[in-house]
Amino acid sequence: MSKIEAKILIVDDDQDVLLAAKLFLKQHVTIVHTERNPGNIPSILKNESYDIILLDMNFSRDATSGKEGFHWLNKIIEIDPLAVVIFITGYGDIELAVQGIKEGATNFILKPWDNQKLLATLTANLKTRQNKEEIEDLKSKQKVLIANQDLAYGNLIGQSSAMQKVMATVEKVARTEANVLILGENGTGKELIARAIHKASARHDEIFISVDLGAISETLFESELFGFKKGAFTDAKEDRAGRFEAANKGTIFLDEIGNLSFSLQSKLLSVIQNRKVVRLGTNREIPVDVRVICATNMPLYQMVNENKFRQDLLYRINTVEIMLPPLRERAEDIQALVEHFLVIYCKKYKMPLKRINPATIRRLEKHTWPGNIRELQHAVERAVILSESNILQPQDFFLSQIDDNSPDQQDEITNLEEREKLLIRKVIDKHGGNISKAARELGLTRASLYRRIEKHGL
């Protein structure tokens, strides 16, 4: 029978106990170290790491209070916070043992022990160290992720009155646990606002999970959001938590919520109301503590009137509503946004920092930006890559062929819907029907462009 790959330390002042334990455990475990003097624990742990430490609760003669054991338990945890400590006590004091577990011990055994019970206790707790290390690793990665998110999304940019109003609302709502609904056209920065709320909330040290509901098919909705049990369906080869469980204690951002079918809206409403999920293939309810932020570019109130969106779900998700203005309504923010993106992309492509002249800014401010900030961002990136000058000119930016100042075309194209339709047709034609290239140029996702194509009947 092969030995268990593990390293055990036994600390007890009774030499007979140490010898008996070592002789038995060496038959089952690869490495067993013993120590009579607890005073040597700090120096031992500075050089070694153990899967399990068996620690006597009383070292002085006739001592029964367990104070020495608690003292050395605290020292061990101070040196190695992930240590798995099992107390050894010869007095069967359950209250003392329970107190030890409250103080940070993992388990306890009574001496004299039965060898098989000792082995069973060790085996049952061997995974604990590995689990603690995995949890710490996940926490570490999460901190890096949060830091990277902060770097990627930074502070909200905008001096326009419309954006100042949005920022004031974000500051107020972030301090609460209220559900938030963010409305706005594609590319206006709805996820950025959601992340800003999370960052300023009491949950800022916890995870932020973003879910694009428009990209999840109806058949995968429940398994993706609520998780599943192994064997729940053909490809369910292991238990898996859904996005709500993954976001526990943090924030979940549900983008494109207007795309959900009526039946899926009911399932989502149940989870948001009850704060419990049921994984596919089980009947067990799992409590989840999440803050819910939703977003859409669709007219939810009109959809409610047309029985396409549940009124009770709308009321549940819009405790506070934030309307993001399109870029064409906050032209005074364009220069600050351009300068922000110039810093990002000049650094990304290892170029000297480029500047932009006033004439170019004026041209950009007159453009209608159907793709909003996302379109502006791609336009700046493209200009940084292609321009050979350190000062960007109007010709460095590819904008739609529509002249926004042309009175003739203003007469021909009487509303924004028609302007958007014309622009999309021009860009698609330019790329010979290649949707991916057209979407990139417009600053849209493929899914968003397909929806606009369908809307305009192109």
Mean pLDDT by 10 residues, the chain (458 residues): 86 90 92 92 85 84 66 86 85 70 83 86 83 68 51 66 93 95 95 94 94 91 91 82 93 96 95 94 91 96 95 96 95 93 92 90 93 93 89 83 45 57 81 82 79 76
Side by side, the strands of the sheet bearing 320-323 are 208-212, 251-255, 291-296, 180-183, 320-323
Architecture of domain 154-325: 3-Layer(aba) Sandwich (3.40)
4-133 and 154-325 share one fold? yes
**What's the pLDDT at 291?**
97
β-pairing, 276-278 vs 285-287, is antiparallel
Answer whether CATH 3.40.50.2300 is correct for domain 4-133: yes
Residue 286 contacts residue 245 (beta carbons within 8 Å): yes
- Evaluated on CA atoms 21, 26, 27, 31, the torsion sign reads positive
Beta carbons of 118 and 109 less than 8 angstroms apart: yes
Burial 146-177 (b: 16+ CB within 10 A, else e): beeeeeebeeebbebebbeebbebbeebbeee
Residues with Cβ within 8 Å of residue 406, at least 6 apart in sequence: none
- Sheet of 52-56: strands edge to edge? 29-35, 4-11, 52-56, 85-89, 107-110
Contact 196, 153 (CB under 8 A): yes
pLDDT value of position 139 = 63
Q: What is the pLDDT at residue 146?
A: 53
Its sign, for the CA torsion 305, 311, 313, 316, is positive
Please say whether the beta carbons of 81 and 99 come within 8 A. Answer: no
- Topology classification of domain 328-456: Helicase, Ruva Protein; domain 3 (1.10.8)
Residues 25, 7: Cα–Cα separation, whole Å: 10
Please, which residues bridge with residue 435 across strands? none
Contact (CB, 8 A) for 195 and 222: no
The residues facing 85 across adjacent strands are 53
Preceding amide of 112 cis, omega within 30: yes
Q: Which residues pair with 254 in a beta bridge?
A: 211, 294
**pTM of the full predicted structure?**
0.60
Report the distance separating Cα 309 and Cα 178, nearest Å: 21
Q: Which residues pair with 31 in a beta bridge?
A: 7
CB atoms within 10 A of CB 139: 12
Q: How far apart are CA 309 and CA 301, in angstroms?
A: 8
The CA distance from 298 to 451, in Å, is 11
First to last CA, the chain: 71
pLDDT at 361: 93
Residue 421: what pLDDT? 78
Question: What does the alpha-carbon distance between residue 119 and residue 245 come to, in Å, rounded to a whole number?
Answer: 34
3-state SS assignment for residue 430: helix
The domain segmentation of the chain, as residue ranges, is 4-133, 154-325, 328-456
